[in-house]
């Protein structure tokens, strides 16, 4: 293992988790499960190293990686996002994984967060392990899990968004409540790198972000119109449902005021 400095640092943490792993392991034998994990985790781990990251933990189908350890870097967030995009390509290229006669479809959720970290060695059962700790780690893990709600693949927050280069295309997704955070957190979906831009995906991003602006301003009908243009998107469907609920509450409130007067 490389010798990394211990102590306070700034970097970027990435969590990746294979979807439906519990169900996959339920149809495979323990040996086949091990084979599946090795065939998937190994190329993902290689990608982390190629993007100047370090694998801190591998827990079955999940990986925690940190970027920015080797030396002070301003591009640790870019490296993490470029790695995340490549990971999705890797999974697509080996999808489905074939274990004996079983063909297993692949996809993953990724959460990324940049911020303050503490690099240290932890003694576990007499064995020393290097890792990073801090709120940044916890947030990256939360973002990975939030993907499930929106049916997205890669989520970041404003801290990461502030670092990344213009060629990375993102979509302003929503403000969410995170346990331990006093204010709602703005999250973004990472779509693609500019060099591989997709005009249709970019148009959907524009409609969604316009709808989100109307939503935050309380313009429910305008927001619904924008989100309806991309209603096949799970996040848009959720936002349409939320707009209708907010609109119904407002109309009910106004109706009550008229009755009272």
Question: Along the 261 residues of the chain, how does pLDDT read in single tens digits?
Answer: 567 778 899 999 999 999 888 888 888 899 999 999 999 999 999 999 999 999 999 988 899 999 999 866 678 999 999 999 999 999 999 989 888 888 888 889 999 999 999 999 888 777 888 899 999 999 999 999 999 999 999 999 999 998 887 778 899 999 999 987 888 999 999 998 875 567 888 889 999 999 999 999 999 999 999 999 986 788 999 999 999 999 998 877 766 555 554
Q: What is the pTM of this model?
A: 0.90
Q: How many C-beta neighbours within 10 Å does residue 160 have? A: 30
Kindly report the backbone phi and psi dihedral angles of residue 198, in degrees, each rounded to the nearest multiple of 5, phi listed first.
Answer: -125, 115
Contact (Cβ atoms closer than 8 angstroms) between residue 19 and residue 109: yes
CB-based contact 40:61 (threshold 8 Å)? yes
Q: What are the DSSP E strand ranges found in 19-96?
A: 53-59, 62-67
Beta-carbon contacts of residue 116 (< 8 Å; ≥ 6 apart)? 8, 9, 10, 134, 135, 136
CA distances from 5 to 13, 119, 129, 132 (A): 16, 7, 14, 11
């Amino acid at each position: 293992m490389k010798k990394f400095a211990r102590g306070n640092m700034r970097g970027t943490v990435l969590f990746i988790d294979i979807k439906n792993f519990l169900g996959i392991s339920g149809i495979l034998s323990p040996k086949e499960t091990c084979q599946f994990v090795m065939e998937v985790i190994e190329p993902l781990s290689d990608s982390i190293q190629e993007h100047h990251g370090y694998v801190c933990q591998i827990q079955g189908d999940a990986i925690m990686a940190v970027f920015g350890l080797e030396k002070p870097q301003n591009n640790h967030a870019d490296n993490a996002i470029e790695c995340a995009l490549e990971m999705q390509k890797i999974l697509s290229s080996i999808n489905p994984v074939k274990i004996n006669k079983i063909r297993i479809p692949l996809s993953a959720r990724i959460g990324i967060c940049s911020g303050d970290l503490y690099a240290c060695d932890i003694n576990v059962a007499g064995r020393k392990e290097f890792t990073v700790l801090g709120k940044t780690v916890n947030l990256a893990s939360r973002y990975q899990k939030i993907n499930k709600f929106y049916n997205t693949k890669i989520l970041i927050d404003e801290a990461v968004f502030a670092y990344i280069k213009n060629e990375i295309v993102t979509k302003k997704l929503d403000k969410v409540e995170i346990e331990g955070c006093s204010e709602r957190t703005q999250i973004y979906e990472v779509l693609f790198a500019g060099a591989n831009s997709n005009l249709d995906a970019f148009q959907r991003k524009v409609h969604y972000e316009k709808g989100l602006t109307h939503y935050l301003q309380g313009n429910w009908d305008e927001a619904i119109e924008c989100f309806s243009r991309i209603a096949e998107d799970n996040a848009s469907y959720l936002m349409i449902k939320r707009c209708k609920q907010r609109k119904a509450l407002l109309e009910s409130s106004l109706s009550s005021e008229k009755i009272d007067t």
